[in-house]
Structure 1
């Protein structure tokens, strides 16, 4: 793999090798895949999460990537004090909405903010100048990291849903403006739910994939309705190499399906220095998903 002047060419996992990348979220728009990642950047000798901004890459074939200037930092939310944790980007009408977990500056615990842009590569700005979800809005909990890892899906009737959580999985409707909660917050009961929820739809099924247990595998549940009931089905992939966390992003692109995740495979990598990977994902005829084999080869050039 080579990296020159914002272009990354090569083959194999991890797909980005000049920076540590984590918690992928992926948007497909006009035959281009936009990959947004966290950015692990702890100083030498520090074993902790140090994440100040998010990164953006794009590709038309999943093998050659363009790196774009960082479109968003944790402190771009004026009410936040830092920690650019897992996020999700979604398009509605002509705008791009970025939901992100950050540390709230004045309310204890993590919070979820939403930023907006008119281009998928940004720049993004805080869409409402306050948190979309804060610790005081959810059922009482002693877990300061309860508000982690947002994921958003827009259902076929246009209704948007936000799902998130750490140890407890929460779901709520979003108003049509995409920056306010619409109605109560509910919980979803899932076995061994840790964090890293990801919602997507394929065919007539909704899928809720998430970090299962600790260290985290990726488990998933299925439903015919976004509001449930959700039936746990099984494990999508095993514990990633040299890394105790896992965060899925699943897309269809140019006729095939893919799972994005992270591991700790780069030199110097580990739990706090992670790297995004891609492997093929295959559905069975009944809608269930075959376990994903994590490879070093990765995927072939998309569209061929």
Structure 2
């Protein structure tokens, strides 16, 4: 009798083990595909080819990066553009999200739908009109040409609207009873409660703009206005004859700020994305 009972238990245990092994294999494959290029980049940058064609452990590739391009200026340009864009997106997303979530005005639903529809338009479609507007303002080939068009954010507006809608509306009613204006209600109640959502907007804006290549390529001409991704292209040399280790050393340097933001922003990002999921 006991042997008949043990057979189903063994079969269930076998299925569980097989399922667990399958999940582990899938996760290992995903881990390899995700971290494999990063590890390869780091290894090649630390092992440049010497005069004999052999790879040795050395930091000469990183030294060559600083000697071939003005890394300090590129870092400063990228930091300035990314920081102002991130702050601007947090500010505009918070204001627009609050307006769409809590202020009642005619045509708000239609306007919000139009804002969301802009997310479906590729940047390549709008880059020429934006460039013409920037040039008419006399801001072409400046860092402001990269900052001003990136401050409005449809995704950030949507994210903050959903964040504000998760806050009980009774807080607004209580503030109105106390005589608070909509701006005072936003500043004193909703804004402090939306810090996780603002952190998500800021982190996503930083990652997107720090690694941006297409817009700086169109908007800037002078090397003094290049951002880091655009400036590192010169490391490839004429017709791509530059040292691969030097190019990848520049890539490693460009990854450091994004890695720091990820390490310190992981918790706010996780809290912001899950805010409102459970009430």
User: What interval of TM-score do these two structures reach, taking the shorter chain for normalisation?
Assistant: under 0.3
Q: Between the two structures, name the one with larger relative contact order (CA 8 Å, sep ≥ 6).
A: 2
TM-score, L = length of structure 2: 0.24
Larger fraction in strand = 1
Larger fraction in helix = 2
Which is greater in Rg?
2
